[in-house]
Structure 1
Amino acid sequence: MVDDEAPMRQLLKIYLTNAGYTISEASNGEVALSEIEAETYHMIILDLMMPGMSGWEACKEIRAIEPELPILMLTARTSIEDKVQGLSMGADDYLTKPFDGRELVARVQSLLRRSVGTETEPYHIRALNMTIEPEQKLVSVHGIPLALTQTEFDILWLLAKRPERTFTREELLERIWGLDFDGDIRTVDSHIKNLREKLREMDVDPIATVWGAGYKFVVNTSDGKI
């Protein structure tokens, strides 16, 4: 959630954490963009009237980075013109202040349901002739199914969704195995090694080691996702 007013961020946090969501905060558009480039988020709640980068500008920049990320504009600007402008600039929904917490949660749930729906569509990577089907948890290369374990699939899917984005070992451990996992961090390296061997058997090698940092998914094309 992006809002320059700390009391508003606290109010949003109360409503949404009570509804079961994990929340990150940004006090302005610049901080939000930095966070979005560094982490994976499922949705953005965006204020319009902020110092520095406005919500309008932030929305445009976010769309350039994450074309499919749901954006809910939350603002005191109530005119039809503002609402039309916000939706035209890429927002998926527009809610005015003051608002009812129940409506806020309902809007968030609706946007996330629609977003999750797009996640079930096959993900095609033309340069590798690879298809990833998240709903069935299937991967094929050159039309040939690739036998992966559940963990190997989860790692591949996480990396492939954010090509060129480096994930640290600690981040992979947290996202794939969960915060409660008490195993060794070398578990990540072991699963990456096995996954790479299976991919190389299919003559593809998209997972790169970023020395001293972690791993990333590399596609040598300008239009990897189609």
Structure 2
Amino acid sequence: MSRPRFSKDYRTYGEWLKAQPRDTKYAKEIIRKHKFFPDKSLSQLRNLKIGDFDLSQTAWKTLSAQDKRDRNLSLQILREMRKGENLSSILEKIGKRTEFAVKHLGKNLHKSEGTWKVTKTDTIQAEMLIYSTEGQKTIITASSKDRSLIAEYHANVQKAIKNNDPSVLAKFKDIQIVDAKGKVHHFETDLDKLYEILEAQEEPEFLEIYQH
């Protein structure tokens, strides 16, 4: 069965693409959508909502269980690319295709001079566990800056516990995290209270891995 006509003026997507420079914002959006839905016509692509092909800005609480797992995996891609790894090697390692990365990272992943690159920061939501002055809790972070800060905090908690040295947590005493709901959280830096939290710790599902 042949593919339906792409538009009134062009039989295929390729003909539409080559007909004239496609460097407008509208054209770039059509090209981006076509990567996800190569069988759809121009009018169908025009009417697609961004959420149909880009989940990067979808609120954490509205994601399905599978999409939450996929988002955490996509954040791993971001971390490794920011450290200098190339996209193809990361995808090969985790068994995913380019379309997976584009769908879950959105505009945080882009091609420049033929090479896939990522933004230095992002505002992708993720669920993370923190030890706050209110005890252990999970929060929805709203930026890569906060994810990195929480990861650094957890690494320092491990050092503090291992060496019985609370001084490594001093820098976090006056730092605050503002979650996706706008609520402010303060890190627990008291070693005795951290011991109590860790003894009663439970590991919730879907938590972002503490790496940075």
TM-score (norm 1): 0.24
Higher relative contact order (CA closer than 8 Å, sequence separation 6+): 2
TM-score (norm 2): 0.26
Q: Which has the larger radius of gyration?
A: 2
